[in-house]
Structures are given as C-alpha cells and as structure tokens.
Structure 1
Amino acid sequence: MVNYDIAGRTYPATQPYLVGREKIREFAAAVQSSSLLARDPAAALAAGYSGVVAPPTFAVIISQRAEQQLLFDPDAGIDFTRLVHGDERFIHERPIVAGDELTAQLTVTAVRRLGANTVVTTVTKIRDRDRALVSTAISTFVVQDPEPTAEGEEEA
C-alpha cells in the first residue's frame, strides 16, 4: 500500500546529467523530430544556441532519474507492478541544449485515493549547473491498490 505520509516529501537532487549531442540526436530520431536544431550543430549555433537543441520531451530522461528515487523508496510503499503513468507535463523555462549539466529534484505534492487506486502527484525541478530552473515536470502516477483478501489468506 502506498504510504500517504510521503505527501510533501522532497528527495535529494540527482547527480548531474551531462546532456550529449548524440543523445539529443538519438532522442530526436526516436520521437521523429524533424527539427534541424536537434541534428545540426551549425544550425543550432546560427539560431543562437550553444549546442544542438533537445526536443521538449527530452526532459523526461532527466525527470525519470528523480522519479526512480520515489518509485524505489521502500518507505513510499509503491508496488511498481501496479503502477501506471497517468500524466506528465513539462513547463520549460528554456530549451535543453547539448553541454547542459542538469540535476533534478522531486517533491511529492499529493497522495490521494481515487476509487480502488492511489494517485501520487509529483513536481520535479530540473536545474542547470548554475542552479537556474530549466524545466518543471509534473507527473501523476496511478497505483492500483491490492485486491482485498479473505481473512487468513495471503496476497499473491
């Protein structure tokens, strides 16, 4: 069962993630981005960026590093086999570019019951090496509560 007391908990910032040009190119190809800024360093420089520009959803790579702390925290009580990702939104302050060194810090903002499920909402702040806010990820996880068992039976 999800521990409702995790509401308000903030986890430590992740170790820095160095955003690489090839990672951006690979991600852009995977999401079928046609942006030249994500593939061509010269085009990115001509547009005023210091490196190739990541597609907006690239931030998921950074935010998931912080989400792992919550999902694998034994005190949180989240059974990963019963979890679905309900929603994820990003608020970008600026694009992520090759050469960025980013950390992410997650706060559990709400834990509530919805039918036979527990809904966990998180906010993850992604910051650069100067601690400037780059992006905010707002995620909702839905955890199916275990089926009630007959007295004396163990859950499968």
Structure 2
Amino acid sequence: MNTGTDEAVQAVENFDPAAHAASMVGHHYRVDDYYEVGREKVREYARAVQDYHPVHWDEDLAQEYGYDGLLAPLTFISLVGILAQRKLFEQIVTGYDLSQILQTDQILEFHRPIKVGDQLVCDVYLHSFRQAFGGDIIVTKNIVTAQNDELVLTTYTTLIGRSGGDIDPNLNDVVRNVLMHGIGEDAPDHRPRANVPAPVVA
C-alpha cells in the first residue's frame, strides 16, 4: 500500500489555486538579485518600442535635459516586472498556467526616471484577489528601488488568471505574431558622448 503516495496525489487533485491565491493576499517578497540598467540595453529597448526621444539615445542631449546619462523609456520597467512576477506564479500563487494569465491594467507612479547605471530591486506584494467574470483577478503591487534604497517607481498590475482547462495549441503562434519584432527605419544613429576621448590608433 502506498498510502503516502495516494495522499500526495489526492492533495494535488484537491488543490484549489483560487483559494490558495486568496489566502496569500498580503504576502510579500523581494527579488533575490538586482537588475542593472545597461547603456546599450536602454537603446535596444527604445529601438524595439520605436521610442526615438533623444534622451534614450544621445548622452550629450540627455545631459542638456539635466541628466548625467541616458534615460530609459517609461515602459522599460516591464523588463524588471517580468522577472519579478515570474517568481510570484512559480512559488507563491501556484496552480496557474502562465499562458492563461492576461494583464488587463497597470498603474505606474514614477518617483524619478530610470537611468543607466541604476541597480533596481523589486519588492512584490500580492495586493488583492477576487473572482469575477469567470476568472481570478489578481492585483500585485511592486515597489522598485535603486541603490541606497532610493524610491524609483510604484506599480499596480491587474492580472486575470484561469486555472484548469485545455490550452489552445495555436496560442504560441498568436502571441508570436502579436509581438513587435521589426525595427523602425526612423531609429536614429547614436553617438558616444563628445567628452569621451577617441581611441588612439597606432
């Protein structure tokens, strides 16, 4: 008799992701590592979202705006958010298939711009949970700080999840076709700062 195995199987079968998520409201964790904002990552991201404001591309022009380096586009924080919320569904709010999770709303409250050189740390809170419209509505609160605990950003993200059910095998193709993969022809050439010495050619 495998009583222990049978009980484990029964526990898995009886696991209710929605009830578990509701019980975890108020839970908080800090992402283990920081995300360092890189100079070329900012330009790469700006190119991908076709944001050609000069503060994302040209360090001299960014300095004219009062900053000592490139600024990240506003939605750059999504790169950090994806990493932060992955743990939420892998370890905290378990039982959901990530392909069944849909982001429906996000509130971003910037306390200062994201800059090259920032080492961003994210604290994630399971802010609220409710069921409506046949889905589970999960709201997370993320507090993003830079080195020296400087507050950068507070976000509230609303997600709708559905546990169980069959996954559409064509879903991956649909998502792939929706994602932006082209590079805009209007992307500016970027240059190093004027005060960086040119390399010496022997």
Question: What TM-score, normalized to structure 2?
Answer: 0.68
Higher helix share: 2
Out of 28, 43, 49, the residue aligned to residue 31 of structure 1 is 49
Higher strand share: 1
Q: What is residue 73 of structure 1 aligned with on the other side?
A: 91
CA shift for structure 1 position 56: 0.6
- Flag the structure with larger Rg: 2
CA shift for structure 1 position 72: 1.1
Q: Which runs of 5+ in 1 are unaligned?
A: 148-156
Decide whether aligned partners of structure 1 residues 107 and 74 sit closer, same or farther in structure 2, where only a CA change above 3 A counts: closer
Q: Which runs of 5+ in 2 are unaligned?
A: 1-16, 166-202
Q: What is residue 135 of structure 1 aligned with on the other side?
A: 153
Q: What is residue 70 of structure 2 aligned with on the other side?
A: 52
Contact 2:24 2:92 in 1 (8 A): no
Decide whether aligned partners of structure 1 residues 74 and 108 sit closer, same or farther in structure 2, where only a CA change above 3 A counts: closer
Once the two structures are superposed, what CA deviation does each residue of 1:86-128 show, in whole Å capped at 9, x if it has no partner? 2222111111011111111100000111131111100101100
Moved over 3 A (4+): none
RMSD, aligned CA? 1.5
Q: Is 2:110 the counterpart of 1:98?
A: no
Out of 125, 137, 142, the residue aligned to residue 107 of structure 1 is 125
Inter-partner Cα distance in structure 1 for 2:35 and 2:103: 23
Q: Is 2:20 the counterpart of 1:20?
A: no
Inter-partner Cα distance in structure 1 for 2:66 and 2:32: 29
Q: What is residue 42 of structure 1 aligned with on the other side?
A: 60
Contact 2:139 2:158 in 1 (8 A): yes
